[in-house]
Structure 1
């Protein structure tokens, strides 16, 4: 009997340890689950939660009436959106639909879910508009109240877009911070950006916020870290820029490694074997395939 209890206890401890280790891996749904549902939409975020992601990854833009909109581009992309009459938008005309110069009332008239996506043919198509950030949070909290969801929020900005397509990094950063404060516990939030200025402002002004440095250049990792001027919590680059040595060197500096955008199961397996802390994918449903 005693041996049986020992064996049962060891088995439970092993299962708990394996579950605990798995729970530490940060599976992030890119723009919700872009491979399956229209990107950065409420249905995509709900589906990602149902698929078991740890973190919802999303992008923010700012409307003319100073509301945070979930959108990858600061304009109504011709690739995914139809205009308010249901008509396709010409590539050359998409930039005139500047979100920073449109109110949310105008933006919600555009359908960004019905048009077939050339790169994601398996997307479920539906009539859906770009949501406000606070609407996403409200839906997740009310419709998936038991889900322990984290939010990886990208501030989309670049120097030539300041006060044209978005506010300055300081004003943008303040708006994001003030919107989140009191709505989501900051322990569930990461702010990410390709714009070093955004991260530097958050680091100086809101030092307790977890930050992720987004990278798509092929410069040495240390060069990017030196340019940033501090160690971010997370180094998040295109997955093909990584190898096992680079991952280990970053983690030795207490920097987590969460690459983007990893869609093939064999790539997921390789990265997990190399020891990444998480990954960002358009297809969260593929993660368990390997």
Structure 2
């Protein structure tokens, strides 16, 4: 039978083990303890990257709105996953669906904001999201989205959400479909700073060049490194290529392991995988200790 001193020593040892484990959890005084991110607003339920999608995501209780940004000919920042009008979701000014053959010629970087508003991205049924509500919608200005979201919170109260904004760029299409990284980041930051929401912004990208610009020019802004499922480099190789530790490591969810989560947490990096649309997969990822999840169906995370 244990003596009192032995029991006390055992309890202290257990407490130290738990304390060490807890200390590895990444903390940020502003970021949610577990981040519920609505992918492109809530793509499974509403037309992607539109104001209705963002407002619905707020109603569902997301803590972060995930969105994609591109730049127009007249240097406006608008929401769009591609720097062109994707045939899957677009109806042209003539009321006819945009074809796959035509989509690449509808280069948003060569169009003014006013010209982009002639194209609808909410009426055409999405082939992969049959439950998505159909409604008339256009690609909105980033500042317009922010105005609507901030007004919602002033009216409803509650904790203001974060904005996770992806720069849609790659080296091969610099100055063809988008500006080079320095200008791309500057245009987005002009909107963010004007709206005075910089303490609630994350800039994410698969293009590490834009993250490097953010880290150098705007060091107070949080960054998220997006990782494709076909990228065979490991965490250490990604961090070496990036040149610094991002706030968030955001891999395709199939890449997440307990070992990866532990390695990130040891470096004070949060792990928020994308895009998880299955309840069972969500629960498995939570058990692995991820710090949040990006989903087309944020209602799966708020139920």
Post-superposition CA distance 1:17-69 (Å, at most 9, x none): xxx9x951000000000000000000000000000000000000001111001
Q: Which residue of 2 aligns with 1:8?
A: none
For the pair 1:168 / 2:180, whether they are aligned, the reply is yes
Number of aligned positions between the proteins: 269
Q: 1:236 touches 1:259 (CA, 8 Å); kept in 2?
A: yes
Residues 1:282 and 2:296 are matched in the alignment: yes
Residue 263 of structure 1 corresponds to 277
Counterpart mapping for 1:43-54 below 5 A: 43-54=52-63
| Residue pairs, 1:182-193, within 5 angstroms | 182-193=194-205
SS of 2:215 mapped into structure 1: helix
CA shift, 1:245, in A, is: 1.2
Unaligned ranges ≥5, structure 2: 1-28
Matched residues in 2 for 1:23 and 1:176: separation? 23
Q: Residue 103 in 1 paired to residue 117 in 2?
A: no
User: In the alignment, which residue of structure 2 is the partner of 1:10?
Assistant: none
Tell me, yes or no, if the aligned pair for 2:61 and 2:302 is still in contact at 8 Å.
no
The residue number in structure 1 matching 2:71 is 62
Match of 1:77 in 2: 86
Whole-angstrom distance in 1 between the partners of 2:130 and 2:271: 30
- Distance in 2 between residues matched to 1:176 and 1:137, nearest whole Å: 12
Provide the TM-score with structure 1 as the length reference.
0.90
Distance across 2 between alignment mates of 1:224 and 1:241: 13
Unaligned runs of 5+ in 1: 1-19
Q: CA deviation at 1:186?
A: 1.6
Contact 1:218–1:241, Cα closer than 8 Å, also in 2: no
Distance 1:129 1:182 in 2: 23
1:92 positional shift:
1.1
Distance in 2, matches of 1:215 and 1:54, equals 22
Q: Deviations over 1:214-262 (max 9, x none)?
A: 1101321111111111111100010000111111111111000000001
The yes-or-no answer on 1:157 pairing with 2:169 is: yes
Residue 250 of structure 1 corresponds to 264
- Structure 1 residue 231 corresponds to structure 2 residue 245: yes
C-alpha distance after superposition, 1:169-200 (max 9, x if no partner)? 00111111122113133221000011011011
Residue 222 (structure 1) aligns with: 236
For residues 37 and 234 of structure 1, what CA distance do their matches in structure 2 show?
26
CA–CA distance in 1 between the matches of 2:302 and 2:186? 38
